[in-house]
Amino acid sequence: DGGITQSPKYLFRKEGQNVTLSCEQNLNHDAMYWYRQDPGQGLRLIYYSQIVNDFQKGDIAEGYSVSREKKESFPLTVTSAQKNPTAFYLCASGKGGRGMEQFFGPGTRLTVL
């Protein structure tokens, strides 16, 4: 089955540690995205990538980093520089281009203790 997967579903880390969230898709999509979701804030774009080896900052990129070495994978690292990292993180992919929707993964809930 084609789809987009995120792992793990729940993640706990101590303050000051970097943590990497996985996102994989087998839909052959060129574009991939990372969002952060907080209660009452909707979705906020962290980073996106429209092609392998290229990515752009979104609205709230500070304290985060990404890589896009393979078409299928777009991991997100939450660094210790992120002031308030506890949130629900959503990855998405899409064909890109006009009128094309996104396909979302199930999300990872990160809790920093």
Partner 1 sequence: GDSVTQMEGPVTLSEEAFLTINCTYTATGYPSLFWYVQYPGEGLQLLLKATKADDKGSNKGFEATYRKETTSFHLEKGSVQVSDSAVYFCALRDALNFGKGTSLLVTP
Shorter beta-carbon distance to partner 1: residue 75 or 80: 75
The CB-of-26 to partner 1 minimum distance in angstroms stands at: 16
For partner 1, the closer of residues 50 and 65 by Cβ is 50
Q: Parallel, antiparallel, or unpaired: how do β-strands 64-66 and 10-13 relate?
A: unpaired
CA distances from residue 39 to 9, 62, 81, 93, 106 in whole angstroms, order as listed: 18, 20, 22, 23, 17
The distance of closest approach from Cβ of residue 90 to partner 1 in the complex, given in angstroms and rounded to an integer, is: 6
Min separation Cβ 16 and partner 1, Å: 28
Q: Using alpha carbons only, what angle is made at residue 104 by residues 99 and 106, rounded to the nearest 5 degrees?
A: 165
Q: Which residues bind partner 1 (CB under 8 A)?
A: 6, 31, 33, 35, 40-43, 45, 48, 58, 90, 92, 94, 96-107
16 vs 42, which CB is nearer to partner 1? 42
Q: Compute the distance between CA of residue 75 and CA of residue 39 in angstroms, rounded to an integer.
A: 23
